[in-house]
Amino acid sequence: MINVGVIGVSGYTGFELIRLLLNHPEFKINYLAASSKGKIDEIFSSLRGVLDFEVSIADVREAAQKCELVFLALPHQEAMRYASELLELGVKVVDLSADYRLNKELYEKNYCPHLDDKNLAHAVYGLLPINRDKVKNAKLVANPGCYPTASLLAITPFLPYIDTNLGVMIDAKSGVSGAGKKPSATSHFVSVNENLNAYNPLIHRHADEIKMHLENFCQKSMSTVFVPHLVPLTRGMLVSVYAKLNKEIKPLEILREFYKNEEFIRIKTSPVSVKDVAGTHFCDIFAVVWEDKIFINSAIDNLLKGASSQALANANLMFGFDENLAMPKISQFC
């Protein structure tokens, strides 16, 4: 068994990691840490009678003594402080924050000064299946954001056929859990219920993450317009992409060929639904062409494929296991 830990366990992604790890045949929870001490079933009452475990205040040396792998479910800036020390002590890290997803210039534009140039240089962006081979040999994986995951998986198969000068327009909609567990005026029930709104249009920090990795994949500059929306759902994410094509294509054939060996990417023949993927590791994708334009539609669970189950899939690869080991398959809805 591989001993693993989660630092920042008290949030939504921390809870999802626990749920997944409890069903994993090769990983054993051996360290949990949050901002205060307590019992894990006091933080999450649904774990009462399921997991009897003490939550510590994060201590890097204790984590390194107890774990071969640590998941960091922490806010940006805070995560890099722990990652650098854990790596020095020989612990592998999957970071669910933004701290290692971008180059230094773009990170500091969108977040804060970066404190770990050394590890930023060799962090692997854990978008699966695109970077699978790199993840296998990684000591530090930067788990992608939920919006970039849904967007990049939709767009990447079509990069050879998209007019990169005009680029892509991405209309994305997320459930409220994407805002995290800490309450705010915009995520309050009264604000969200029976409401729908765009936020940070065109300047959202995930725009640069999407653009940077699209350009890395296609080795060209690409205009990227990204507009996120908050919808009154607990979980789930729907992305709609619009682009101009540079040649005639059969989009479903391209998707089927590109993802032909991917168990958790399903190619749909009609627009996708959040309910079909909520509670699972699946990404559903649909695409259709009209004239010289393409519409691409994808759906994921923002807390799983967009965070915790993708993190676990990365960890599986880092330790030589089947990538899809212990991945959730059944939607929470009929």
pLDDT at 103: 96
Torsion sign across C-alpha atoms 64, 90, 324, 333: positive
DSSP assignment of 246-267, as one string? Answer: SS---HHHHHHHHTTT-TTEEE
The 10s digit of each residue's pLDDT in 74-104 is 999 999 999 999 999 999 999 999 999 999 9
Residue 322 has pLDDT above 80, yes or no: yes
pLDDT at 313 over 90: yes
Question: Is 146 assigned a catalytic role?
Answer: yes
- Residue 73 contacts by C-beta under 8 Å, 6 or more apart in sequence? 6, 7, 8, 9, 11, 13, 14, 17, 96, 97, 308
- Report d(CA 21, CA 309) in Å as an integer: 10
Q: Give the integer Cα–Cα distance in Å for 301 and 322.
A: 21
Separation of alpha carbons 83 and 93, rounded Å: 7
The arithmetic mean of pLDDT across residues 106-120, rounded, is 95
Predicted local distance difference test score (pLDDT) of residue 334? 55
Structure tokens given for 173: 């909609």
Work out whether strand 140-142 and strand 168-174 pair parallel, antiparallel, or are unpaired.
Answer: unpaired
Pick the more confident residue, 262 or 165.
262
Rounded mean pLDDT of the chain? 94
pLDDT in tens, 153-162: 999 999 999 9
Predicted pLDDT at 156:
97
Percent of the chain with pLDDT over 70: 98
Q: Under a CB-based contact definition with an 8 Å cutoff, are residues 110 and 169 in contact?
A: no
Cα separation, 73 vs 66, in Å, equals 18
Give 234-271 pLDDT, tens digit per residue: 899 999 999 999 999 999 999 999 999 999 999 999 99
C-alpha–C-alpha distance, residues 128 and 131, integer Å = 6
State the pLDDT at residue 217. Answer: 93
Q: What is the pLDDT of residues 191-202, one digit of tens each?
A: 778 888 888 877
Cα–Cα distance, 37 to 43 (Å, whole number): 10
Is 244:279 a contact under the CB 8 Å cutoff?
Answer: no
Which domains, ranges and CATH numbers included, belong to the chain? 2-143+307-318 (3.40.50.720), 147-300 (3.30.360.10)
Stretch 44-60: mean pLDDT? 92
Active-site choice (67, 112, 146, 334): 146
Between 28-32, 63-67, 219-223, 259-263, the lowest mean confidence (pLDDT) is in 219-223
Element (H, E) at 135: helix 132-136
In this predicted structure, the answer to whether residue 185 has a pLDDT above a threshold of 80 is no
User: What proportion of the chain, given as a percentage, has pLDDT over 90?
Assistant: 84
Q: Identify the CA nearest to 152 among candidates 136, 129, 135.
A: 129
Task: Identify the pLDDT of residue 331.
Answer: 85
If you average pLDDT over residues 28-36, what whole number do you get?
Answer: 94
This prediction has a pTM of 0.95
Task: State the average pLDDT over residues 317-322.
Answer: 98
Partnered with residue 285 across adjacent β-strands are 267, 298
> How far apart (Å, rounded) are the C-alpha atoms in residues 217 and 138?
19
CA 51 to chain centre: 25
Whether 181 shows a pLDDT value over 90: the answer reads no
Q: Name the band, by pLDDT with cuts 50, 70 and 90, for residue 307.
A: very high
pLDDT over threshold 80, residue 208:
yes
First to last CA, the chain: 35
Query: In 3D, which of 39, 37, 91, 29 has the Cα closest to residue 60?
Result: 91
- Look at residues 117, 60, 115 and name the one whose alpha carbon lies nearest to residue 93: 60
